Structure 1
């Protein structure tokens, strides 16, 4: 059996980029049980309500939904259990000091397999205000509009 290489995306949290200003991102390993890995290999997970909390100088991933493995028996895992993140001590200390500041939180952005190992991309983030969200949407719309006009002009030029 050939070893997996590359990155295979399992789940993504698009809402996080809409609701937060992303300040810094980190790649972390996950401590998982066998049935969790099998369930993830089927491409089933949800990061929507997920967040990271630091307890006793350890990073823990909360509220990430990994559904029970369908062929699992009594050894199956609970879907929303907290999972330990594998990070360097310096990274954990840095995140812990930053989250003490008001308005900062740690959110998961993506869950994926990298070279056969389950990884989660987390981000240090600051919550956006309602007007920031509207501004972001407006900028996105303007960008789309200008791209549309440019491509239409290029089409006319070719014709």
Structure 2
């Protein structure tokens, strides 16, 4: 059965799913991004949803919230990021969501991915991103992917 991947505006009910997704130990290790406490996460979420430069969507598959996808400005660069619950990895949802999300942006776009996060690198490559730079971090190398 073909899974219907859709994007919509985040609702207050989605925040709990987003919090649980970012709390997943495996996901945090893969992304090399530490989980936030619940109060820190909610404060962060409130801040990013109020910034008019940020574009945020909930990823829904057959009516079920599976994650989120967003874009924000970092200086002159427009960055893209996404976070899905680990139980939804490897099913093509991130790729389908990213293809839909990218339709709303002018190029170039950028995304940072840790060198060991091969799954996320593959998602970016499937929609046309290419590695264009790298930088050393405390826990390895972050790759910058660009979509021209």
The structure with the largest alpha-carbon Rg is 1
- TM-score tier by shorter-chain length is under 0.3
Q: Calculate the TM-score normalised by the size of structure 1.
A: 0.24
Q: Which has the higher contact order (CA 8 A, sep 6+)?
A: 1
Q: Calculate the TM-score normalised by the size of structure 2.
A: 0.25
